[in-house]
Amino acid sequence: MDNAIEAVSLTKYYGDFLAVDHVSFDIRKGEIFGFLGPNGAGKTTTIRMLTGVSRPTEGKAFIMGYDIVSQSVEAKSLMGIVPDISNTYDEISAWDNIVFTARLYGISKAKREKRAEELLKRFNLYDRRNDKVKEFSRGMKRRVCIAMALVNDSKVLFLDEPTSGLDVESVLEIRSMIRELNKEGLTIFLTTHNLEEADQICDRVAIINRGKIAAINTPERLRQTMRSVQSVEVAFKEPSQNLIQELKQLASVSSVEKRGDKYRLLTDDPPTVLREIWNYAERTGCMPISINTLGPSFEDVFMKLTGKAMVEEVHRDKGKVGGMGRGQKN
Amino acid sequence: MSKVSKLDELSRSWAIAVKDMHIYYLKPSTLMFGVLFPFTLFLSFTVGRDIPIDRLVPMLVAQTVFWASSSVGPTSIPLERRLRTFERYLSAPLSLISLLFGKTLAGMIFGLSVSVLSLLIGIIALGATVTGFATLLIGLALSSLVFSAMGIMFASIPTENPGDVMMPLTSVRIPLLFISGIFIPISQLPPVGQVAAFMSPLTHTLDLIRAGLGGQSNFGIAVNIIILLLYIAAFMWLGTRFNLKIMKSE
């Protein structure tokens, strides 16, 4: 058995609303798998079904070969979960949070105390082990949450928006922690809004939109399949007032976006666009000062597949208090 | 992978109970509905009335075990839904029944503690005497378990606000006080009231406590125990079914 996670036609209805529509995928052992999608696409619902928090309406999910519904105790013994908000027990100490979680997993007293000490030291929380978690910063709570998820020597780690709402330092720390845990052999399933994060960390990503998987592949291959969103980025010395309209007239350009002092010309044929820009410059005297050809960015791929801009999603996410609430199914 | 034994499950339930004791026993809604409310209600119904001790003390003890045991779950579960710590149990390797049993144990121990306090008040301040220790112990243990399970069943209402559970629960708890012989003796109830009294678990709590304190059980100790055991099973089963339904719909 090479798969750590297997989803087979996983489906979830909320009343008449189809939130997840026959989603299937396999995640190999030792893989970092990213799950991306706009708000309401079905990411959190999928993760809730995979972790046994919510029951699928149809379909099955397996964790290390164990059915999450009929062999839930076995499946859950092998996984750790870090939800999109840090659901620690704020009124008890970091130490007690970890020890309590270990007790839920049936870990013996000596082993759970050793493990709690190891994890608190690893996540630089040992000096604050006796402080109540409500006194901790968001980043520290996140680390407590990750420590709680690792207390059972889990084989599969689910991370729902692990870096959402954290400061830059905490984000970098958690990303490096994810890589480190993966090197130690942990299979990681993470949902994220951050495409750069998915691009940098994940071995493979799935893009989910309106409850259906739109694509599953490595970030690089997804980019390669999107030839139509290649682009040429050009900056002009003295751009004319109608520059955008004029660039749109170029035969091989499908659309033009202004980004700072640069213009991004989307095309499926960058060499021809380069010739057209040169002809345009000679004809109008509007000379380029820099030209770059760009492959499709991961954001382009996402937009193409979901029809939504990721920036829009991130802003919407930041506007939420405390991340995805239970009432806000994703 | 080694199977999780019943003993393992029990130890996980106990871990939940201990954690709940640390976190929820001193929460305002637990203290208000579990301690303040029964004592205030008792005082408001007894002060200035000439009620004999053999009625007064069982009334106090039965009321406190009833209110205190049923107040912890309805405080802890909605708060844990709000903070999403409830999901920790759902994704942990333990069965739903073990989770709910852990929650029930926390309410049971709280109910037992408060009712022992009220019993001590009854013995020291009001001069009551324990004549049937075993009956009293069984009565308090079963009653705290049954009312805690009742609170847990009501806490299955999918809400993040303890008030949304306390409201319907209290609207059931208050009528139970009037049909269970707490304020009105069962013999003074109309025939339909007497049937309702038999159906109420609180009647059987009062019966057992009265029998333990030198009085008589209306329906017999064996019947009292059987009815309470049936209610424990029913409330636990319904609580599990309701939570399973929530897991399917959420």
Bridge partners of residue A191, in order along the sequence: A35, A160
- State the CB neighbour count (10 A cutoff) for residue B55: 16
3-class SS of residue B1: coil
In a domain, B166, yes or no: no
Q: What is the pLDDT of residues A186-231, one digit of tens each?
A: 999 999 877 778 888 999 999 888 899 988 999 888 777 666 668 8
Query: In this structure, which amino acid lies at residue A235?
Result: A
Chain centroid to CA A181: how far? 16
Q: Other C-beta atoms within 10 Å of B83: how many?
A: 18
Asked if the structure places residue B10 within a domain, the reply is yes
Interface test with A, best of B5, B19, B85 (most A CBs within 10 A): B19
Distance from chain centroid for Cα A39:
12
With CA atoms as reference, report the closest residue to A195 among A207, A179, A181, A177. A207
Do A3-78+155-223 and A227-295 agree at the fold level? no
In a domain, B225, yes or no: yes
- Inform me whether the C-beta atom of residue A79 falls under 8 Å from chain B C-beta atoms: yes
Tell the residue number behind the tokens 């998820």, with chain if given. A149
Q: How many interchain CB pairs under 8 A, A with B?
A: 80
At residue A108, the 3 state secondary structure works out as: coil
Backbone angle region of B179, left / alpha / beta, with phi > 0 → left and psi within -120 to 50 → alpha = alpha
On whether residue B82 sits in a domain, the answer given is yes
DSSP string, A27-88: EETT-EEEEE--TTSSHHHHHHHHTTSS--SEEEEEETTEETTTTHHHHHHTEEEE-SS---
Query: Token pair for residue B28?
Result: 């305002």
- With beta carbons less than 8 A apart as the criterion, state whether A25 and A3 touch: no
Number of Cβ within 10 Å of residue A238's Cβ equals 9
Residue B52 clears pLDDT 80, i.e. is over it: yes
B7 lies within 8 A of chain A by CB:
no
Predicted pLDDT of residue A298: 67
The bridge status of strand A3-14 relative to strand A212-217 is unpaired
CA separation for the pair A33, A5 (Å, rounded): 10
- Three-state DSSP at A269 gives coil
Confidence of residue B145 (pLDDT cuts 50, 70, 90): very high
Q: How far apart are CA B30 and CA B67, in angstroms?
A: 10
Q: pLDDT by residue (tens digit) across A163-180?
A: 888 888 888 888 999 999
pLDDT band for position B183 (50/70/90)? confident
B46: in domain: no
Instruction: Give the mean pLDDT of A9-18.
Output: 94
Please indicate whether, in this complex, the C-beta atoms of A105 and B92 are within 8 angstroms of each other: yes
Residues of A in contact with B85 (CB under 8 A): 87-89
- Asked if residue A324 has pLDDT above 80, the reply is no
List of chain A residues whose C-beta atoms are within 8 Å of the C-beta of residue B94: 73, 104
What phi and psi values does residue B27 have, to the nearest 5 degrees?
A: -70, 145
Name the B residues in 231-250 with CB < 8 Å from any A CB.
244, 247-250
**Interval A48-89: pLDDT, tens:** 999 999 999 999 999 999 999 999 999 999 999 999 889 999
Domain layout of chain A by residue ranges: 3-78+155-223, 227-295
Q: Assign domain A227-295 to its CATH architecture.
A: 2-Layer Sandwich (3.30)
Alpha-carbon distance A295 to B12, whole Å? 53
Total domain count, chain B? 1
Spatial distance between the Cα atoms of B209 and B132, rounded to a whole number of angstroms: 9
CA B124 to chain centre: 24
Does the domain made of A3-78+155-223 have the CATH classification 3.40.50.300?
Answer: yes
Q: What is the DSSP string of B107-124?
A: HHHHHHHHHHHHHHHHHH
Mean pLDDT score of chain B: 93
Residue B143 tokens read as 């009653």
Residues of chain B found within 8 Å of residue A106, distances taken between Cβ atoms: 4, 8, 11-12, 93
Which residues lie across from A266 on neighbouring strands?
Answer: A231, A255
* Per-residue model confidence (pLDDT) at position A329: 38
ipTM: 0.89
Query: In which domain, by residue range, is B90 found?
Result: 6-40+52-161+172-249
What is the pTM for the complete model shown?
0.81
Helix, strand, or coil (residue A188): strand
